[in-house]
């Protein structure tokens, strides 16, 4: 656990690195599924720079690692002032999560609040 730098560190800063914890041998990875929900996500419209709010759901089946949740919180915080389309965000989070956590499978769903009368949800998943 010595490689964890964010958990328990009040001075930890937001960054695009997801920290991971080894999956204990006591779990059967064939049966373990992990769901994470962020209910207070914000980013910006890439055209108007207006704020957008969303709920983000990440569900994954770990292979060797589980994500350390504080690092995920700080990772998601890095999008706060970023202009990004909703569909691109789902794919971006999925790519980073799969690259850094290396799960068997993963699904990322972004559910954005209505703006202009339209709510957008986008889902990106591994095969």
Q: Which residues are catalytic?
A: 45, 52
User: In the chain, how many H helices and how many E strands?
Assistant: 2, 6
Measured distance CA(72)–CA(50) in Å, rounded: 24
Cβ–Cβ contacts within 10 Å for residue 29, how many? 14
Which tokens go with 10? Answer: 């009040």
């Amino acid at each position: 656990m010595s490689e964890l730098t964010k958990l328990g560190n009040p001075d930890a800063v937001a960054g695009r690195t997801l920290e991971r914890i080894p999956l204990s041998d006591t779990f059967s990875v064939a049966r373990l599924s992990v769901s994470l929900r962020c209910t207070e996500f914000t980013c910006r419209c890439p055209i108007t720079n207006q704020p957008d709010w969303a709920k983000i759901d990440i569900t994954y089946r770990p292979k060797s690692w589980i994500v350390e949740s504080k690092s995920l919180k700080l990772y998601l915080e890095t999008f706060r002032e970023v202009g990004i389309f909703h569909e691109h965000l789902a794919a971006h989070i999925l790519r980073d999560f799969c690259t850094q956590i290396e799960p068997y499978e993963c699904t990322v769903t972004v559910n954005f609040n209505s703006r202009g009368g339209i709510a957008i949800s986008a889902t990106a998943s591994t095969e």
